Structure 1
Amino acid sequence: MPTSVYSYNMSRNSDNTRIYRVKTRGSALSTQLKGRDYKGKRNVTSFVSDDTELQLQHGESVIHPQILKQARRSGQLNLSNRGMVEVPNIVWNINKITPEEGQQLSLVMDETDGQRWWDQVVLNKLILASNKLSTISSEISNLVDLTVLDVHDNQLTSLPDTLGDLLALTKLSLGHNHLQTLPKNIFYLKELHSLFLQYNQIEVLEEDIGQLTLLEHLDLSYNRLRSIPYTLGYLTHLWKLNLSNNKLKFLPPEVGNMCALRCLDITHNALTKLPDEIGSLSKLEQLFVRHNQLVCLPFLKSCTSLKELQAGNNRITEVPQELLETIKSVKILDLRDNKISTLPEEITILQELERLDLSNNSLSSIPYSMGTMSHLKSLLVEGNPMRSIRRDVLQQGTVHLLRWLRSRMEDNLSTGNSDRLSSAHQEIGIDKHALHVMHTLDLSGKVLNNIPEELVKKAAEEEVTSINLSKNALTDISPCLDILASKVSELNLAFNKFSSLPQLVGNFSKLLYLDLRNNQLGDLPLELSKLSTLRELYLCNNRFEKIPTVVFTFDKLEILFASDNRITSINVLGLTKLPILTVLDLRNNNITNVPPELGNLRQLRSLVLEGNPFRNPRPAILAKGTPALLNYLRDRIPC
């Protein structure tokens, strides 16, 4: 019976010779394959099995026959991270089987899983990443069916001309090598969809790049490019282009022809201006231009799909109204580390904005009207010479800052002339201008027993996002308020006469702020568990004997005030379900014991327990502040 190799193991002799014990099928004998390490390379001699000779070339790595067998079954071969300095010849000839090998494979498979050698799949995916390859053999042309070739993270300085014979390639990964130029044959690969060339030393990109018309993803980041050819505009299927971390001083206007482009990254270059043609990229969703030398941004008149614009670390001096009108769909706007001195009132045009970074500019103030931007979750203004906003307001975070801006706007409106709602609502004193501009329904201090339905409908028309019903005589909430529930982010029901909270409040699923102070509440309904975005909750001056169970479902909760109630114990297990809780105020309750495990809530920045009847921790410990209090409690956790 012919012999075939199916497994081996390695050991060393006393003279550091490597001994490979190779098991063979069809014989009880084992043969030895000897080799000696020499300057990090393996010098392997030939060995003879029963009746088959296998010759290994100098410098080759041994590949387990089972790996080759599996590759012939699947069409995929992964030889990444093996320390190879040269690819074994068997890889380039893996699709070729000699008659003798075919006979052996047939016999072996007959005895194992029933497959035949003629059922093998030609290799279509080859991964040689993270090795020490300095060259690729010209015999790679034997693998004409390859669709994926990954040789990133090696030491390649050149590529064989025969690479151009792999006409079926759709993905070619050459990143993290030492390539200085690209061979012309790459541009013959007309089926390429993805080409990765990041982290090389390429200085010039040939105009022939325009021949790869099916490219969808091109990464040339971290190279030495000083210019980009106009032919890049021919890549009309390209949806992601990364040119970051090069030495580009300009972009060709033809970039505006890449009509499929959704993501353009040109950070860390030397650009002083962007071509106006970028404004023609109607499908652009992400534009990254940070760390350049831009003094202005082009008007992105057709970029109606733009969601993210990052232009920090430039020399931009202003944000013109014309620009804001062209980026109304933006959700993330980064303008940090520029030279902006004023921000126009038109910034409120960006009603979809969720994150705005204005850090480290020259702003002395920001428009009060920004307090009405209901979707804004992060407003960063640190590092500006602010004169109109107190430092303590800036330090309290976005929610407090927006509320402060709204309050200043209300003060301005109350001192000026404003239109009033007509009919019965004029008697209530509702400011129509406040409804329209601030999207706020403020009915505080009106001594109301119910909310007029007509007024609620008007508020819905104005897309109200904040409702203030505090300081009234409410015991229930009119069902008509439900039409506002899908948009409201702030709800203030403080200083009323609620003995139980209506389940309707649970429908306000986008609430960030809920104020229930000074009522007669003893518990909260489980229906509030739908308030998955809630960040601030005020329960002070009620009749709670414990923190309501539903509170522990608010995993986005950051601030919880529950002082001046009748709370007798602290549910540490429940509080651990609030991973970002930073402020916990339990002053003036009936707490007789403070669990040491409370000290494990390391995310707390403010823990207030004064005014409770417990004996430990002592007032002297409480006076040292939250970090000291948490350390004190942790030190007393039983081992």
Structure 2
Amino acid sequence: MVLNPQKILLDLQNCRLDRKNAIHQLINIINKSADVSKRIESIKILMQLDFNEVNLFAFFENLMISDSNEKIRTLSIKIIKDRYQEQAFEPMCWAYKHEHSIKCLLYVIETLGALEDPLISQYLKKELKTMKIPEFRSYIHSLIKKKKIQRFNNKELAKILQNYHILKTLIKEYKRIEYTIERGYIKELDLSCLSHNIFSWHMLKKLPGIIGFLRNLRTLNLKLNKLKILPNTLTRLASLKHLDISNNQLAYLPEKIHHLINLETLDVSHNNLRELPNSIIALKKLTSLNLSHNKLNKLPESLESLEKLEFLNLHGNKLYTIPERVLNIKNLKSLEIGLNNISNIEKVSCEISQLQNLSLGGNHIDEQSLRKLTFLEKLQDLDLYDIKLTNLPDEIGELGYLVRLSLHNNQLTDLPQSVSQLEYLEVLDLSWNNFNKIPKVIFDLPRIKILNFSGNKIKTISPSFLKIKSLELLDFSYNFIQKIPNLLNQLEHQNHDFHIII
């Protein structure tokens, strides 16, 4: 009869089989079955059972030392850690020296750290002294010299040893990585662009599960790789504050992403996301969320619960409207939602008056909707590029705190006189429009520093530019200017930091 672990469990639960016989049958599967999945399932069922009446230490010790399957060795280590701590020291020391799987090795070290024994403390300190990565070695030598290492318990010593072996493995595997170590822990890890060479054998297509052991990691950079899936082990990084997984091939995020409770910035731009897990709303400390250049056509409910969110980038998705849940994010200061399919922005203007930065370029916004922008009293940066704009509404002058205004790649031929009311405006981009002369209102802007008229139809440069004392950069490239006027020398003499491009 072929034994089945689930049937054994069912028979035990229904009292058709006693515990002792159930344990015996499960052990029989583990020892004799050629089906690895059944062997693993049998061990997991054993872990649920109370088998104290049967001493299985030697059985699990043998699995840990000699089984060829990494998962089975890992499970055996966990069982010894949980149930046989008094007998664990010697087999764990043996495994530490001979285990070739980094994952199993990390669990061995974790088990050693869980044991309260002075001998283990001595053993861990001895192993720490042999570390070869300079940042680790110098830190341990400093602790020894100052006699501070005595303050560390076994768990803390084991964590440092784990961090060392993880970094050693990553360096061996990927060579070109950057990292920051503080007090024996990896705090920042940069694994970006490991697949920059298409002929490389070390393309990062799958995130190593060992990353999940870096419980003190604050910053993780995985951008510009070929990742398609993020393992759930990533969500164990409870100390993580900054995560960059942009420019990969991700189709979804882990549902357990809400476990990253300390996350402050998340960059998932340039992936293949069609939706976000609802659990993302649990990231209460998130201040910056970059979702640009994905395939999102909707956002999770209750997004407004991200009360600390200040920067939201939705540029280059497939949104047809700006969801109410975005409008209700009370501390939102920057919203980039260009290059979608949005036509109406009235609700945006009325309900998120605290915005300082708004990017709407590349949508299908009508001029009537733009008149509602006057509600955005605190707006400092506004992008209205590439929206087929022929006239800028007079109401633009009511945005009294505007510092930067981009209107490039439209169909403008003039500017309304109300632009002169933008007394704080420093940067004005009017490139690639239909201007054949310079609007007079330009000369009434008291703080303007950068003016971009490139890609228009302008033939002459007005002497009135001499009135603008604040000017630093003037761009007239790709126009019809044939003669360079003498006033340019005067402008450069007037302001040594001034530059002109013709």
TM-score by length of 2: 0.56
Question: How far apart are the structure 2 equivalents of 1:511 and 1:222?
Answer: 35
Cα distance change of structure 1 residues 219 and 106 upon mapping to structure 2, 3 Å threshold: closer
Cα distance change of structure 1 residues 145 and 559 upon mapping to structure 2, 3 Å threshold: closer
Quote the offset at 1:351 in angstroms.
1.7
Aligned to 2:418: 346
Aligned to 2:376: 303
Match of 1:356 among 428, 431, 453: 428
Question: How far apart are the structure 2 equivalents of 1:315 and 1:171?
Answer: 38
Cα distance change of structure 1 residues 331 and 289 upon mapping to structure 2, 3 Å threshold: same
Match of 1:321 among 391, 394, 410: 394
Cα distance change of structure 1 residues 230 and 318 upon mapping to structure 2, 3 Å threshold: farther
Cα distance change of structure 1 residues 173 and 369 upon mapping to structure 2, 3 Å threshold: closer
* Structure 1 gap ranges (5+): 1-50, 61-87, 395-399, 404-465, 467-488, 491-509, 513-534, 539-556, 561-576, 583-602, 606-639
> Is the contact between residue 210 and residue 231 of structure 1 (CA under 8 Å) also seen in structure 2?
yes
Quote the offset at 1:195 in angstroms.
1.4
> Is the contact between residue 311 and residue 335 of structure 1 (CA under 8 Å) also seen in structure 2?
yes
Question: How far apart are the structure 2 equivalents of 1:298 and 1:208?
Answer: 37
Amino acid at match of 2:286: L
> Would you tell me which structure has more helix in proportion to its own residues?
2
Aligned to 1:113: 145
Aligned to 1:54: 97
Q: Deviations over 1:283-321 (max 9, x none)?
A: 422222223333333623443332211211122232222
Is residue 179 from structure 1 mapped to residue 250 from structure 2 by the alignment? yes
Q: Deviations over 1:362-419 (max 9, x none)?
A: 4566653442222223444455567xxxx2226xxxxx3545xxxxxxxxxxxxxxxx
Amino acid at match of 2:326: V
Amino acid at match of 2:305: Y
Question: How far apart are the structure 2 equivalents of 1:168 and 1:275?
Answer: 40
Question: How far apart are the structure 1 equivalents of 2:238 and 2:415?
Answer: 54
Match of 1:393 among 452, 455, 461: 461
Question: How far apart are the structure 1 equivalents of 2:106 and 2:378?
Answer: 46
Quote the offset at 1:330 in angstroms.
0.8
Question: How far apart are the structure 2 equivalents of 1:152 and 1:96?
Answer: 33
Question: How far apart are the structure 2 equivalents of 1:308 and 1:168?
Answer: 33
SS in 2 for 1:558: helix
Quote the offset at 1:263 in angstroms.
2.1
Question: How far apart are the structure 2 equivalents of 1:372 and 1:154?
Answer: 49
Amino acid at match of 2:100: Q
> Is the contact between residue 322 and residue 348 of structure 2 (CA under 8 Å) also seen in structure 1?
no
Is residue 271 from structure 1 mapped to residue 333 from structure 2 by the alignment? no
Quote the offset at 1:334 in angstroms.
1.1
Amino acid at match of 1:324: G
Amino acid at match of 2:230: L
Amino acid at match of 1:300: L
- Higher-RCO chain (CA-CA 8 Å, sequence separation at least 6): 2
Cα distance change of structure 1 residues 308 and 93 upon mapping to structure 2, 3 Å threshold: farther
Amino acid at match of 1:357: D
Amino acid at match of 2:124: G
Cα distance change of structure 1 residues 371 and 137 upon mapping to structure 2, 3 Å threshold: closer
Q: Deviations over 1:305-361 (max 9, x none)?
A: 322112111222322223431x11112111121133553221211122222222333
SS in 2 for 1:309: strand
Question: How far apart are the structure 2 equivalents of 1:537 and 1:363?
Answer: 24
> Is the contact between residue 238 and residue 262 of structure 2 (CA under 8 Å) also seen in structure 1?
yes
Amino acid at match of 1:226: N
Is residue 127 from structure 1 mapped to residue 181 from structure 2 by the alignment? no
Q: Deviations over 1:120-160 (max 9, x none)?
A: 57546352513433334556554444444443343322223
Amino acid at match of 2:411: K
Question: How far apart are the structure 2 equivalents of 1:322 and 1:355?
Answer: 19
> Is the contact between residue 280 and residue 301 of structure 1 (CA under 8 Å) also seen in structure 2?
no
Listed as ranges, the matches of 1:228-247 within 5 Å are: 228-247=299-318
Q: Deviations over 1:261-283 (max 9, x none)?
A: 22222233333333523443344
Listed as ranges, the matches of 1:278-297 within 5 Å are: 278-296=349-367, 297=370
Q: Deviations over 1:469-501 (max 9, x none)?
A: xxxxxxxxxxxxxxxxxxxx66xxxxxxxxxxx
Amino acid at match of 2:232: D
Listed as ranges, the matches of 1:55-74 within 5 Å are: 55=98, 57=100
Quote the offset at 1:218 in angstroms.
0.8
> Would you tell me which structure has more strand in proportion to its own residues?
1
Q: CA RMSD in A?
A: 3.9
Question: How far apart are the structure 2 equivalents of 1:97 and 1:275?
Answer: 62
Listed as ranges, the matches of 1:167-246 within 5 Å are: 167-246=238-317
Question: How far apart are the structure 1 equivalents of 2:240 and 2:302?
Answer: 21
SS in 2 for 1:392: coil
Match of 2:448 among 361, 373, 376: 376
Amino acid at match of 2:278: E
Quote the offset at 1:181 in angstroms.
0.8
Amino acid at match of 1:305: K
Cα distance change of structure 1 residues 348 and 158 upon mapping to structure 2, 3 Å threshold: same
Cα distance change of structure 1 residues 140 and 335 upon mapping to structure 2, 3 Å threshold: closer
TM-score by length of 1: 0.45
Q: Work out which of the two has the higher radius of gyration on C-alpha atoms and give 1 or 2.
A: 1
Question: How far apart are the structure 1 equivalents of 2:190 and 2:449?
Answer: 45
Question: How far apart are the structure 1 equivalents of 2:211 and 2:141?
Answer: 31
* Structure 2 gap ranges (5+): 1-93, 114-119, 131-139, 160-184, 195-202, 473-486
Q: Deviations over 1:73-107 (max 9, x none)?
A: xxxxxxxxxxxxxxx66567776656274151477
> Is the contact between residue 471 and residue 498 of structure 2 (CA under 8 Å) also seen in structure 1?
no
* Count of aligned residue pairs for this structure pair: 337
Cα distance change of structure 1 residues 95 and 171 upon mapping to structure 2, 3 Å threshold: farther
Cα distance change of structure 1 residues 105 and 356 upon mapping to structure 2, 3 Å threshold: same
Question: How far apart are the structure 1 equivalents of 2:499 and 2:245?
Answer: 46
Listed as ranges, the matches of 1:478-517 within 5 Å are: none
Cα distance change of structure 1 residues 101 and 578 upon mapping to structure 2, 3 Å threshold: farther
Question: How far apart are the structure 2 equivalents of 1:344 and 1:157?
Answer: 50
Amino acid at match of 1:312: Y
Cα distance change of structure 1 residues 252 and 97 upon mapping to structure 2, 3 Å threshold: same
> Is the contact between residue 316 and residue 337 of structure 2 (CA under 8 Å) also seen in structure 1?
yes
Moved more, 315-324 or 194-203: 315-324
